[in-house]
Structure 1
Amino acid sequence: MSDTIASPVAPDGLSPSALAEPTRNMKHESAVLHVTGRALYIDDLPEPKGLLHVVPGLSEKAHARIVSIDLAAVRALPGVVRVLTAQDIPGENQTSPVHANDEPLLAQDLVQHVGQPIFAVVATERAIARRAVKLARIVYEELPAILDIDSAKANGSAVVWRPLTMARGDVEPALAKAPRRLQGTLTIGGQEHFYLEGQVALAQPGEAGEMRLWSSTQHPSETQHLVASVLGLPHHLVTTEIRRMGGGFGGKESQANGCACLAALAASLTGQAAKMRLDRDDDMVITGKRHDFKVSYEVGFTDQGDILAVDMELAARCGWSADLSGPVTDRALFHADNAYFYPDVRFRSLALKTNTQSNTAFRGFGGPQGIIAAERLIEEIAHATGMDPLDVRLRNVYGTGERDVTPYHMVVEDSITDLVMTQLAERCDYRRRRQALRDFNSTSRTLRKGIALVPVKFGISFTATHYNQAGALVHVYTDGSVQVNHGGTEMGQGLHTKMVQIVRHEFALPAESVRITATTTGKVPNTSATAASSGADLNGMAVLDAVNQIKGRMVAFAAEKWQVPPEQIAFTQEGVRIGDEIVSFRDLVWQVYFARISLSASGFYKTPKISWDAATGRGRPFYYFAYGAACAEVTLDLLTGENTIDRVDILHDAGESLNPAIDIGQIEGAFVQGAGWLTTEELVWDGQGRLRTHAPSTYKIPACSDRPRIFNVTLLEDAPNREATIYRSKAVGEPPLCHGVAVLHALSDAIASLDAYRSCPSLDAPATPETLLRTIMRVQERVRRSDGASA
């Protein structure tokens, strides 16, 4: 794309071509600040005079009535200014993000998981507050606790969200008529967010009841609204601000609200600024995780590997409150087909209440769990028919005509899964390598190698339709510099960088002329969460709308003054070309200002075409799909369960990437996070509901040595988004996390060699060394029984 804009406002502003190269390759807007340590996070901000520190007192029981609370010793400790309880809340003691009224800020009569906040200490020093919480004397009457999915189902546990059914065709007769059918179960573990910056909020009271918050939140407006509700204030008295987060991954979409509300409550009641920052242990004990699932499935298919019918129930451990479990389990169903067409299908969700942390949003938001379920079906069919799993995948991908309708009745108009898989298989030499690995396995006694090539089809949009909107505010100053504000939040993913790129491109300005400012509800109100991979899609279009309004005014002024048609005016690197004359951007801005024409605009965007009816399980919940595929090769030690990821090749569809370097970085990081979830990261609770993996010493995220030895990531070329997204790009936040599924299936492939690939190992996640050893022994015992029967 050239560095000029043919007209001030293109018909849709979305030509299917890349940004100009200098802009497209822009480095992260905070890169220098990050590497020099000068990037400010909330705990780095200068502390207001008299700052108080807030530390919560937590439940020690998973499910119990509170008989009595003695806080006298807590209050008596020198340095303690105040102790907060539910009785101190002037507004609503409620922080449910979905208006379920089941998530009190401070427990009052009942605790429902170990780590639930009961009270909070406000002290002059954080160390004092931490000592003080340990002095509380609480008497409990313990109640039966339900801690896992199996117990919840066996005991008829309540659900935190209405079950959802998606169906097309008539699945039971189709299963009955299928030439072959099989059934099974799949367990998928949860995951800790493990953001580098923990939950933190700073609250400062102002005049006339005002409250200003700096909160590490992905959803500033929701934080604003809940703080206002807790304090009994109208929304306009509360302002939330966030410049950047040290990671979020969904863990700060709703879980940040508790810290913000308690800090604001302390500030409101004392009249002094207050900060709440959770230690890592408390953070992990209090906050929710990725949902773990147990999937029951039955599939009918042909000898040629064609899927005829699928019946599937996806049950999730949701924790003690609704939080975002409903939308998460819904999205798991939306993705339980992954890239495959099921002629007759029925999906059902079961969002089970348990006495554990309230599970919440996590990168992928249920989609990865659904995709794993879909890929288990492929693996089962491949082993049952003796086919290469890649061939089973290619036979069942979405096509056109009768093979393009999802279980929720959305037509897949842009399926490129077969193209992506075929291209990747050729690039990485999949078929030759697969045979070479089988030859290796035939002679190796202790090491086995596996390979898997797995696609992803990921729907992009919030399934809560009203969240698919965004606002932005752009100011052009008289010196030609530009300030941009929008409703999205920056958590390291490069969203702010992409917004700067849009402004730079449209005005043809250098990087130093455009400044992004902190996200604040005081500038852009009623924002949606930065989630669902929609940050650049939504906010980019809102920024473009604001910029185009200003450009339109500037062009109209120039056309009138210079007496040239608007189409002869273009913004270029040399300046604004007006007919045959070049005027510097700054000079034109100055003249527009003196003509009393506004150089500020508020932009807005709402995603078109989408709709969803949960009552019928039908609609078009997604604007488009992002596609990709990953091929993973692993080596597994049969004696220890230890394994290495030897090579990974990824081909990913980012449409016309706004910033290839940032997008490739996102894909690399997402893959590692997905692979970690499915291999090393294991959440363990004991019989009393205490989280035992509550620190880096007991919870293993991937380290540098866990990365693939060979790691090739490529963006799909010549594949602009068919829909009118910002410059025809595609979302790249969540979809690539699903590439980690290839590692799980490569490990399964290695184990399958023990039975000459005749049966599915039924490997559950996370595939830790212990899980791998159990699976290995199960397959070896199956082989021994089979060999004994044959003898």
Structure 2
Amino acid sequence: MPEVNESNTVANNVPPTTPSTTPAGSAGQGVAHESAARHVSGEAVYVDDMMAPSGTLHAYVGLSTVAHGVVSSMSLAAVKNAEGVVDVITRDDIPGIVDIGPVFPGDPLMVGVDDTVEFHGQVLFAVAATSYAAARRAARLAKIEYATLPAHLTIEEGLAAESFVRPAHYQSRGNAQEGLRAADQRLQGELQIGGQEQMYLEGQASLCVPEEDGGMLVYSSTQNPTEGQKLVAEVLSVDLHKVTVDTRRMGGAFGGKETHANQWACLAAILARRTGRAVKLRLARGDDMRATGKRHHFLSRYDVGFDKQGRIQALDLMLAGGCGMSPDLSDAIVDRAMFHSDNAYYLPQVAIAGHRVKTNTVSNTAFRGFGGPQGMVAIEDIIDAVARSTGRDPLDVRKSNLYSAEDNRDVTHYGQTIEQHVLPMLLDRLEETSDYRARRESIRTFNASNSVLKKGIALTPVKFGISFTVQHLNQAGALIHVYTDGSVQLNHGGTEMGQGLYTKVAQVVAQELQIDIANIRCTATRTDKVPNTSPTAASSGSDINGMAALDAARTLRQRLVAFACEHFSVAEDAVVFLPNQVSVGEQVFTFAQFVNLAYHQRISLSATGFYRTPKIHYDRETASGRPFYYFANGAAVSEVVIDTLTGEYRVERVDICHDVGNSLNPAIDIGQIEGGFIQGMGWLTSEELSWDASGRLTTVGPATYKIPAIGDTPPIFNVELLPDSPNAEATIFRSKAVGEPPLMLAISVWSALRDAISSMADYRVHPKLDTPATPERVLMACESLRSESS
């Protein structure tokens, strides 16, 4: 593989792409999403839309009705005898492994008799029938008896019982306790940070088709085809090469299909193997929400010391993540919360404890930001509390605490140096373009003359680390075929969930081969084309898959240049790739003519590419290292107005400046920023998960779980991509990731709500406002301030 050097050119003699050459749709252009028209028209094919083989069966599952207990008996006679039923399976029918925990054990595929149920909605059995309706009806006929056990449903209960899915982890610098004792001022506080339902448009779905020689073709709505391949193979007790997983697209995922798609593929595969027929398993929305994981809810407790200007001197922070019943990905998620508990701020003396609390609820899992948002909410709560205590504008307190190259304030609490200081300039720019200072004074005037309606404003930064914190996942592969008509087929390990990854990677290939993007087709992600892939997560999809595709394209280009030099007896600099053409000396060929000529000279027109992220490492024993290749940055200003008598509020204006480096696709990047912000706003304001006393999830659909609607979009919504800010690291064309970081821009909405509430006490009191900041919580915070001032 050619090595990619720091100048982002390949260390061989292939001429680098000239910036002035611009075939239609190449990198840097605002190209529409490759499936945008099909999404809108309904022509996009998802797993449930696929033309299934004749005789396909439909599967469904039976779910537990207690949060914690031992299954004492399971009568499935009525299920087996129900109309249309072909097969029913339990734990005892699994031919291979029973535990499908992705990293650590703890996730049984099904719970059997004498096994312990760990949450309300855990899978007990699966049924295959001739229709979807028949399978669902049959699944309800089971008679299950339990010996119930006490259940821990909250983080506090889990902490009190010292119940954890994994050991705690600790990070520190200096002596936090000594720093606190010596601090000029000191505050303590606690914050509840709510979880979030994935609420993807397409629910969990798999279609398994048995093949000869014991093979299995799995169509799965998954972010992680390779892990799905591995687990299906292990559940069936066959070699991995007998299982192929195919994922063309997902109708949303957000992390909920990184590990939680595996169970449904495994169940469908077992039934397909037993019956010899294709089996489709699709969960109904309510059962999907009961049986699959959410964003981790967190409990934050802090003790902070600071000076009179609000600069933090010491911090003791406890982060407890509510993990649910199993480890799943919680170890890495709580780690990332700890990594991001500084957000953009230098913490001179700090001690951070991260607990992985076990509760008898569904195992929580990856969600956009992967723990980072929870850590950042915790520190932004602290910054606002410090600002109220010192009487300074929260923006000024934020600025005074920013990482800086001056005074050695540029190293994180885990030992990574901040090498590209974008935020100070970015915050100054946004402060000016949003007219923050004048609006702050206008809001103070408004609040002074209005006793019921109160306005608030906040400007909050984002510094988000980019890379998988598990080192070996930072790799990717790609495969490119060039056909004799000049068309190109591209395949890579990334999955498409609506974020535009296929489009961006195709643009990279278009740029390198100098052909229009219309001539490139990105095919479904398949484990038999690019093996051993990493999940599409951690905002690394474009970074690693784009670089792998670039490597493959450059291999092809180098091969074609070498062919032209030999065939036409010219020097390398005489071979020039132009938009849809190749110039060789005095001759000019269309790209199709050129590759067709190469084919007839027996030149291979297929190449693989590979990339692994450099520089990253982390030692958990010493809690130090460089877990991130680089940091993505941004900031947002949000303005809100609240009704202090009802708690109702609206977001009136949002201004965002976000750094994406040299954008691969400005149109898609802006869309990701807008969508991420709205999703983050929903998490922090309206999306409230609720369980009853028995541990049953009660928010199981859009009627009870409120995601933002179009009417919640701010009427003034300004988004700017920070200009002239190429990545300092040699990423794909010096771009920066944009998948997860924008979600955390929405912290500005939550901070603005507290700013509005605090105005009721002349900004002297830091109101307690747990997330999500629903109108009920806003009203309670207003009432609390009224009580304190009366």
Q: TM-score range by the shorter chain?
A: over 0.9
Whether contact under 8 Å (1:472, 1:542) holds in the other structure is: yes
Is residue 689 of structure 1 aligned with residue 720 of structure 2? no
In the other structure, the counterpart of 1:220 is: 225
C-alpha change, 1:335 and 1:11, in structure 2 (3 Å) is: farther
Q: What is the CA–CA distance in structure 1 between the aligned matches of 2:14 and 2:345, rounded to whole Å?
A: 36
Q: Which amino acid aligns with 1:104?
A: P
Instruction: Report if aligned partners of 1:18, 1:657 keep a CA contact under 8 Å in 2.
Output: no
Instruction: Determine the C-alpha separation between the residues in 2 that align with 1:257 and 1:213.
Output: 11
Counterpart in 2 of 1:73? 78
* Rounded Cα–Cα distance in structure 2 between residues aligned with 1:483 and 1:522: 15
Instruction: Find the aligned partners of 2:17 and 2:206 in 1 and give their Cα distance.
Output: 38
Residue of structure 2 in register with 1:593 after alignment: 599
Q: Is this contact kept in 1: 2:14–2:558, CA < 8 A?
A: no
Q: Which residue of 1 aligns with 2:328?
A: 323
1:286 aligns with 2:291: yes
* Matches of 1:15 and 1:679, distance apart in 2: 47
Post-superposition offset of 1:511:
2.5
Taking the TM superposition and a 5 Å limit, the aligned residue runs for 1:106-505 are: 106-108=110-112, 109-157=115-163, 159-400=164-405, 402-505=408-511
Q: 2: CA distance between counterparts of 1:334 and 1:426? A: 30
User: How far apart, CA to CA, are the structure 2 residues paired with 1:170 and 1:19?
Assistant: 55
Q: Which among 660, 664, 670 is matched to residue 670 of structure 2?
A: 664
Cα deviation for residue 467 of structure 1 reads 0.2
The total of aligned residue pairs comes to 778
State the Cα distance separating 1:753 from its structure 2 match: 0.5
Q: 1:266 to 1:6 in 2, by over 3 A?
A: closer
> 1:344-377: CA deviations, max 9, x gaps?
1111100100000100000000000111111111
* Contact 1:13–1:727 (CA under 8 A) maintained in structure 2: no
Shift of 1:68: 0.6
In the TM superposition, what whole-angstrom CA distance separates every residue of 1:480-507 from its partner, at most 9, and x where no partner exists?
1100000000000000001111111111
1:523: which partner in 2? 529
Deviation at 1:595, TM superposition (A): 1.6
Residue by residue, what CA displacement relative to the aligned partner does 1:317-364 show, whole Å, maximum 9, x if unpaired? Answer: 100011111111000001000000011111110010000010000000
- The answer for the alignment partner of 1:37 in structure 2 is 42
Map 1:379-778; keep pairs closer than 5 Å. Answer: 379-400=384-405, 402-573=408-579, 575-778=581-784
- Cα distance change, pair 604–534 in 1 and its aligned pair in 2 (3 A): same
Query: Does structure 2 conserve the Cα–Cα contact (< 8 Å) formed by 1:18 and 1:727?
Result: no
> 1:445-473 deviations in whole A, cap 9, x for unaligned?
21100000000000000000000000000
User: Hey, what's the Cα distance between the residues in 2 that align with 1:52 and 1:17?
Assistant: 55
AA matched with 1:632: S
Opposite residue 216 of structure 1, the aligned amino acid is: S
Checking the alignment, whether the CA contact within 8 Å between 1:14 and 1:726 is kept in structure 2 is no
Q: Secondary structure at the match of 1:218?
A: coil
Aligned mates of 1:178, 1:284 — CA distance in 2:
46
Amino acid at match of 1:566: E
Secondary structure at the aligned position of 1:161 is classed as: strand
8 Å contact kept, 1:474–1:601? yes
Q: Secondary structure at the match of 1:730?
A: coil
Matched, 1:102 2:106: yes
The 1-side partners of 2:204 and 2:253 are apart by: 9
Shift of residue 668, structure 1, vs aligned partner: 0.1
CA contact (8 A) 1:43 1:200 kept: yes
User: Unaligned regions of 5+ residues in structure 1, if any?
Assistant: 785-791
Measure how far apart 1:563 and its partner are: 2.4
Q: Secondary structure at the match of 2:88?
A: strand
Distance 2:483 2:207 in 1: 31
Matched residue type, 1:722:
A
Q: Aligned AA for 1:62?
A: A
- Residue 54 of structure 1 aligns with which residue? 59
Report the AA paired with residue 246 of structure 1.
G
Amino acid at match of 1:452: A
Contact 2:21 2:578 in 1 (8 A): no
CA deviations 1:119-173 (Å, max 9, x no partner) are 011111111111111111111000010001111112222x112211111111111
2: CA distance, partners of 1:569 / 1:508: 13
Q: Are the structure 2 counterparts of residues 21 and 76 from structure 1 closer, same or farther at C-alpha, using a change threshold of 3 Å?
A: closer
Matched residue of 1:742: which SS?
A: helix
Alpha-carbon spacing, 1:165–1:11, altered in 2? closer, same or farther (3 Å): farther
Contact 2:22–2:579 (Cα < 8 Å) also in 1: no
Query: Gaps (5+ residues) in structure 2?
Result: 1-7
Contact persistence 2:179–2:314 (CA under 8 A): yes
Contact 1:8–1:567 (CA<8 Å) still a contact in 2?
A: no
Alpha-carbon RMSD across the aligned residues, in angstroms, is 1.6
CA contact (8 A) 2:14 2:561 kept: no
Structure 2 residue 787 is the aligned partner of structure 1 residue 781? yes
* Alpha-carbon distance change, 199 to 268 in structure 1, aligned in 2, over 3 angstroms: same
- Per the normalisation by structure 2, the TM-score is 0.97
Distance 1:728 1:666 in 2: 18
Equivalent residues of 1:161, 1:326 under 8 A apart: yes
Task: Output the CA distance in 1 between the equivalents of 2:21 and 2:637.
Answer: 27
Mapped to 1, the partners of 2:375 and 2:227 lie a distance apart of 27
SS in 2 for 1:162: strand
Aligned in 2, Cα 1:53/1:714: closer, same or farther, shift over 3 Å? same
Deviation at 1:95, TM superposition (A): 1.2
Q: CA deviation at 1:581?
A: 2.5
